[in-house]
Amino acid sequence: TQSTWGALKTQKKKKMAEGNEEIPITSLSMQQLNGLKQQLDEDIEQLTTSYTQLRVAGARFKDSLGALEVLKPENKGRNIMVPLTSSLYVPGDISGIESVLVDVGTGYYINQNIPQARDFCDRKIKMLRENTEKIAEIVATKRKQLESVVMVMQQKMAQFQQQQQAQSASS
Query: Do the beta carbons of residue 117 and residue 68 sit within 8 Å?
Result: yes
Q: Work out the average pLDDT over 137-152.
A: 96
Q: What is the spatial distance between Cα 117 and Cα 122, in angstroms, rounded to a whole number?
A: 9
Q: What is the spatial distance between Cα 18 and Cα 78, in angstroms, rounded to a whole number?
A: 68
| Residue 24 CB neighbour total at 10 angstroms | 7
| Residue 152 CB neighbour total at 10 angstroms | 19
Q: Whole-model pTM?
A: 0.72
Chain CA centroid to CA 58, Å: 13
Express each pLDDT in 60-98 by its tens digit. 999 999 989 888 888 888 998 888 888 999 999 888 888
Q: What is the spatial distance between Cα 38 and Cα 142, in angstroms, rounded to a whole number?
A: 12
CA-based Rg of the chain, rounded to a whole angstrom? 28
What is the pLDDT of the chain when averaged over all its residues? 87
Q: What is the pLDDT of residue 30?
A: 93
Give DSSP secondary structure letters for 75-89.
GTT-EEEEESSSS-E
Backbone φ and ψ for 158, nearest 5 degrees, come out as -65, -45
Question: Helices 114-170 and 30-70 sit at what angle, rounded to 10 degrees?
Answer: 160
Reported confidence tier of residue 3, pLDDT bands at 50, 70, 90: very low
